[in-house]
Each structure stands twice: as C-alpha cells, then as structure tokens.
Structure 1
Amino acid sequence: MSTAEYALGTVAACAFAAVLYMILTGSRVRDVLTDMVTTALRQVGG
C-alpha cells in the first residue's frame, strides 16, 4: 500500500472508531445495556 492509501485508510479507521464510540456511549445504548444486565441478574438471583 502506498503512503497516500495508508493515510486514507488510517483516517477512515479513526472516523469509524469515533462514530462507534459516539454510538456506544450514547444514553440510549447505555440504557439498553443496563436493562439487559439488570434482567439477567434478576433471573440468576431469583
């Protein structure tokens, strides 16, 4: 891969990581994950 292709691939990977981080740290996703864990713990405990 040439230097320009390497740079473009790096920028694309960083942009994808930033979008993924924003999605995963959003309150909606956090609420869904919290509900899943809470439900699982209730089923195990009771």
Structure 2
Amino acid sequence: MYKAVRARVGVLVGGTRAARRDGGMVTSEYAMGIVAAVAFAVVLYKVVTSGQISAELQDVVKRALDAGV
C-alpha cells in the first residue's frame, strides 16, 4: 500500500529525480539569454532611432498632446 501511494504522489509531484535534472539554468544559458536580450535591444534601438520611424513617433506624440487642447 505504501509503495502504491508513494508512486502516485511521485507522479503527481514530478518526483525528486525530475527536479534534480532540471534545477535551473546554468551560467552559459544565462550568458546566451543576456546576449540575445542585448541583441534585441540594439535592433529595437536602431529601428526606433531611424529617420522615418523617429519622425512617425514624434508625429504620434505631437498629435496626442494636441488632442487634449
């Protein structure tokens, strides 16, 4: 009886072995995540500061400020 209950609880909880296998990210995974985030930020910065996009964003802000008057 005890073994059956323990097996069912182990399946529901995921077992201690599964928790040990996937304990979290390692340093290399953190590094790759940071590199990807920085690359995305650089691309986003380049898009937002480009001439046409910058003019469009300024126009949107100007229209939003003028709408309240």
- Considering fraction of residues, name the structure with more helix: 1
Gaps of 5+ in 2: 1-24
1:6-44 Cα distance to aligned partner (Å, 9 max, x none): 110010000000000000111111111222233341x44
Is 1:27 the counterpart of 2:51? The answer is: yes
Moved over 4 A (4+): none
Is 1:9–2:37 an aligned residue pair?
no
RMSD over aligned Cα, in angstroms? 1.4
Please list every run of 5 or more consecutive structure 1 residues that lacks an aligned counterpart in the other structure.
none
Relative contact order, CA 8 A, sep 6+: which one is greater? 1
User: How many residue pairs are counted as aligned between the two chains?
Assistant: 44
